[in-house]
């Protein structure tokens, strides 16, 4: 599920499963920069969905602040 966040960034959350038992494992997040062309800019894992979402938003905030520092 892609969630659009600030500026030109979005993130996906995916719950990983053990292939043999189908038991739920960690959550994976992927952060995308949408413009000028879509590209993956960050990836990671977290034990819960809430943690994965927090880490994705934190990565987006860092990318935005880095982008504004370069522009300044």
Residue-wise pLDDT for 38-71, tens only, equals 999 999 999 999 999 999 999 999 999 987 777 6
- The CA-based angle 66-55-71, given to 5 degrees, is 10
**CA 7 – CA 49 distance, rounded (Å):** 22
Mean pLDDT of the chain: 90
- Would you say residue 72 has pLDDT above 70? no
Q: How many domains does the chain have?
A: 1
Give the predicted TM-score (pTM) of the model.
0.84
Query: Domain range holding 48?
Result: 2-71
């Amino acid at each position: 599920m892609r969630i659009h966040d600030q500026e030109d960034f979005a993130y996906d959350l995916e719950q990983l499963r053990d292939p043999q038992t189908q038991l739920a494992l960690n959550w994976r997040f992927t952060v995308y920069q949408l413009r000028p062309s879509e590209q993956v800019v960050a990836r990671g894992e977290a034990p819960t969905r809430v943690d994965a979402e927090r880490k994705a938003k934190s990565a987006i905030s860092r990318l935005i602040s880095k982008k504004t520092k370069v522009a300044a």
